[in-house]
Chains A and B, each alone.
Chain A
Amino acid sequence: MCLGIPGKIIAITDAARLMAMAEVSGVRREVNVACVAGNDLEALVGAWTLIHVGFAMSLIDEDEAARTLEALRDLGEAQEALEQMAAADEALA
């Protein structure tokens, strides 16, 4: 089962049961944070996690996300450069 959606932890609701409030685009649902809780539960507030069937299952690595997007941008620039070179070649031919 794969449907997971990134959601932000906005509050701890039940520390004993490891439950927190998560928000996805204005929709709030209590989720279990056992998988992502470190020693300090409160530190989770503000973190982005991958939510699946009511559990926060993984912390989203924001740096990795940025790196993935950067790789896509680089590819785009490389492509543009290639296209410009190809156009220049044609103009010379």
Chain B
Amino acid sequence: MSAPSLKFASEFRDPAAAKVLLAAIARKADAIGATRAKPVHIMEICGGHTHSIFRYGLDKLIHDGVEFIHGPGCPVCVLPMARVDECVEIAEKPGVIFTTFGDAMRVPGHRKSLIQAKSAGADIRMVYSPLDALELARRNPGREVVFFGLGFETTTPSTALSIQQAAREGLTNFSVFCNHITVPEPIKALLDDPDMTLDGFIGPGHVSMVIGIHPYDFIAADYGKPIVVAGFEPTDLLQSVLMVLTQIAEGRAAVENQYGRVVPEHGNPVSLAAIADVYERRPSFEWRGLGEIDASGLRIRLRYAAFDAEEKFGIGYATGRRNVPEMEGCACGSVMIGKLKPTQCPQFGKGCSPEMPLGALMVSSEGACAAYWQYAGAREAAE
């Protein structure tokens, strides 16, 4: 029996091509002297890439001298607990229909996760698209529909376009709780961190289809590290690793685009225009594990204040800062930026497991801990 063929996806899952790439990677890794003891550290920034790596077992198949450092590109994982608490607070207000992507529903808050709030009676609904939330608002004029706008630049435009559509229609019962964040800033924060040893980057493919490849120029120009923007299929990832290693072997540092079939060099003009129209950068934003990073989070502009849940409900950054400490013992921050492997977190498999997660990395389908647990059989090490 053969697996069904998905055009523009299946061709990039070809095991024969993967074998060839793995062999080429091995030769290149040997040529630059990378070994298990002294590996090349390549950070895949995006959680979707982390997921692919583990789903296809690439970490086990790849040459010993290549080590993947799992980066902070999982928007659920970097959500501080305070934001989850604020989601629950909004959802518990009378008349509110709180809509969210599925990934966010199980992340623990200080009191509850969204899924726990749902079972306690809050009207929380999972949606596939902000357009679905918009439709709920149209169909329920007597209810306040709030959409949890979560994600990096991949998802930011769709929320923006939805807000613009809501404005055009004059909807008064639709708002967005905006938690959109940007990729380049946390990468810079990581590169500035003296404890991080990174030799190269696998760049986020779908973020880049929105912002293009030039926002990463500083990585090569200022920090001298190669970055290859990659697709999500296994041969995309392997080809990108090969391109990074090739740059290292040749002593180059440049921004390269492996995912040219989807990523245009300058990004998507409509998306970028919508983002500029609807959002502005917050002076700073709190990231789980990275603390406050300047200009890394987006908020809805004043002209669209009617669609800003923070304004409507007087919550979050609208009221000033609220300091909610993370769960004790939770090392999500360190794991998420690659300082610790999931198995090195003292809670892994003990105080923290998928059934009873302490932090977002165990719950989010892209979190490194969830991936290790689910795919890599790492729990035996913990048990």
Contacts and interface: CB of A to CB of B under 8 A. Distances in A.
Is A–B contact present in the complex under a CB 8 A cutoff? yes
Interface of A: 1-6, 8, 17, 24-25, 32, 34-37, 48, 50, 52-55, 57-58, 60-62, 64-65, 67-69, 71-73, 75-76, 79
Interface of B: 4, 6-9, 11-12, 14, 16-17, 20-21, 23-24, 46-49, 73, 75, 101, 103, 128-132, 150-152, 154-155, 157-158, 161, 165, 204-207, 209-210, 232, 235, 239, 258, 260-264, 268, 270-271, 274, 366
Contacts of B12: 68-69
Contacts of B235: 72
Contacts of B130: 53-54
Contacts, number: 129
Given A50-B206, A67-B260, A68-B258, A17 B165 contact: yes
16 contacts: A1-B150, A1-B155, A17-B165, A36-B270, A50-B262, A54-B158, A55-B129, A55-B131, A55-B158, A55-B161, A57-B157, A57-B158, A68-B258, A69-B12, A72-B17, A75-B24
Given A2-B46, A64-B261, A79-B20, A25 B6 contact: yes
Given A2-B232, A52-B155, A61-B260, 18 more contacts: A1-B103, A2-B73, A4-B206, A24-B6, A25-B6, A34-B270, A36-B270, A50-B206, A54-B131, A55-B131, A57-B154, A58-B262, A58-B263, A65-B261, A68-B261, A69-B11, A72-B20, A72-B21
Majority secondary structure of chain A interface residues (helix, strand, loop or mixed): mixed
B260 A64 contact: yes
A48 to B, nearest CB: 6
Given A58-B209, A58-B263, A72-B239, A6 B129 contact: no
A2 to B, nearest CB: 3
Contact of A34 (B14, B103, B161): B161
